[in-house]
Amino acid sequence: MKILGIETSCDETAVAIVDVANTATGKHTLISQEIYSQYKEHFDYGGVVPEIASRAHAERLSTLIRKALNKATYTKDNIDGIAVTVGPGLTGGLLMGLMFAKTLSMAWNKPMIGVNHIEGHVLSPLLEEKIEFPYLVLLVSGGHCQFIKVEDIGVYEMLGGTRDDAAGECFDKAARLLNLGHPGGPALEKAAKQGDPLAFKLPKPKVDGLDFSFSGLKTAIAQKIKQQQDITKTDIANMAASIQHTIAVHLADKTEEALKQTGLKTVIVAGGVAANQTIRKALQATADQNDAHFIAPSLSLCTDNAAMIALAGGLRLPHIEHNQYLVTGVRPRWPLEEMEELSK
pLDDT band at 144 (very low <50, low <70, confident <90, very high): confident
**Above 50 in pLDDT, residue 344?**
no
Q: Kindly report, residue by residue over 257-308, the tens digit of the pLDDT.
A: 999 999 999 999 999 899 999 999 999 999 999 999 999 999 989 989 999 9
Q: What is the predicted pLDDT for the residue at 322?
A: 52
- Decide the pairing of beta strands 81-87 and 145-152: unpaired
With b meaning 16 or more CB within 10 Å and e meaning fewer, what string describes 85-97?
Answer: bbbbbbbbbbbbb
Q: What is the predicted pLDDT for the residue at 340?
A: 58
pLDDT band at 140 (very low <50, low <70, confident <90, very high): very high
- Angstrom distance (rounded) from CA 224 to CA 50: 31
Q: What is the predicted pLDDT for the residue at 229?
A: 81
Question: Closest Cα to residue 165, out of 206, 209, 216?
Answer: 216
Q: Tell me how far CA of residue 321 lies from CA of 78, 85, 97, in angstroms.
A: 21, 18, 22
**Above 90 in pLDDT, residue 49?**
no
**Above 50 in pLDDT, residue 52?**
yes
Mean pLDDT of the chain: 91
Determine the 3-state secondary structure of 3 from DSSP: strand
pLDDT band at 142 (very low <50, low <70, confident <90, very high): confident
- Decide the pairing of beta strands 155-161 and 135-140: unpaired
Least confident of 132-136, 272-276, 333-337: 333-337
Could you tell me where the DSSP H helices lie in the chain? 39-42, 50-72, 91-108, 117-123, 167-177, 184-192, 215-227, 233-262, 277-289, 299-302, 307-316, 325-328
* Residue 82: other Cβ atoms inside 10 A: 23
The domains found in the chain, sorted by start residue, are 2-127+301-338 (3.30.420.40), 135-296 (3.30.420.40)
Phi/psi for 323 (5° steps) reads -95, 105
Helix count (H) and strand count (E) of the chain? 12, 10
pLDDT band at 48 (very low <50, low <70, confident <90, very high): confident
Q: What is the predicted pLDDT for the residue at 160?
A: 96
- Angstrom distance (rounded) from CA 58 to CA 13: 9
Question: Closest Cα to residue 172, out of 234, 139, 217, 124?
Answer: 217
Please calculate the CA angle 170-221-208 and round it to the nearest 5 degrees.
65
Q: Kindly report, residue by residue over 164-222, the tens digit of the pLDDT.
A: 988 999 999 999 999 998 788 999 999 999 999 999 999 988 888 999 999 999 999 99
Which DSSP symbol is given to 162?
B
**0.75 exceeded by pTM:** yes
